[in-house]
Amino acid sequence: MKFFVDTADVDAIRELHDLGMVDGVTTNPSLIMKSGRDIKEVTKEICEMIPGPVSAETVALDAEGMIAEGRELAKIADNIAIKVPLTWAGLQACKVLTGEGRMVNVTLCFSANQALLAAKAGATFISPFVGRLDDINIDGMDLIAEIRQIYDNYDFSTEILTASIRSANHMKEAALIGADVATAPPNVIKSMASHVLTDKGLDAFMADWAKTGQSIV
């Protein structure tokens, strides 16, 4: 499973990239606002650092506007994935932009039917939001499993990009189901390394080592 980092924080991306933990990046208007930087400037910097797909989101609500914004965003770098919402207008924009050879990430997916439409429209990625479904007491991972089955049934090339990930458990479940990609905030990816028994075992080793009075260097 590929790891995308869901942030516009360049320093956080660089730290994970140096460890080989970044296959791509996803951004959105909220993350751009949080960064406090110009969208084109920060996106260009990220694209220069990360060779994989970097999602940059359109903000128009009509298909013509999304297409125009998508073409403008695509000028930033060759590895831009244009992000459009899963609306009828977004599907229209997806069809045009993918027809031009551009990567398109169709976002804000909350049903298997929506994911099926996105695949038919030629989406490069479909982004189901599992955390937001969990928020309304619907198991978001059930949606990932449904999309996986449908895409496998018909050999769709659209990649399942599990989004709105809130925990290390979400990452594990996405991998078990067979999601192609999971995009998560840096802190969630780093939390995957944590386990209470690892900490307990390390404490015991360090206590015993201290008793030996030895030093390795």
Which residues carry out catalysis? 83
Angstrom distance (rounded) from CA 65 to CA 58: 8
1: exposed, middle or buried (C-beta count within 10 Å: 0-12, 13-18, 19+)?
Answer: middle
Exposure letters 38-72 (e unless 16+ CB within 10 A, then b): ebeebbbbbbeebebbbbbbbebeebeebbebbee
DSSP state letters, 158-172: -EEEEBS--SHHHHH
Report which residue type is found at 148: R
Q: At what angle do helices 88-99 and 63-74 cross, to 10 degrees?
A: 40
Angstrom distance (rounded) from CA 192 to CA 188: 7
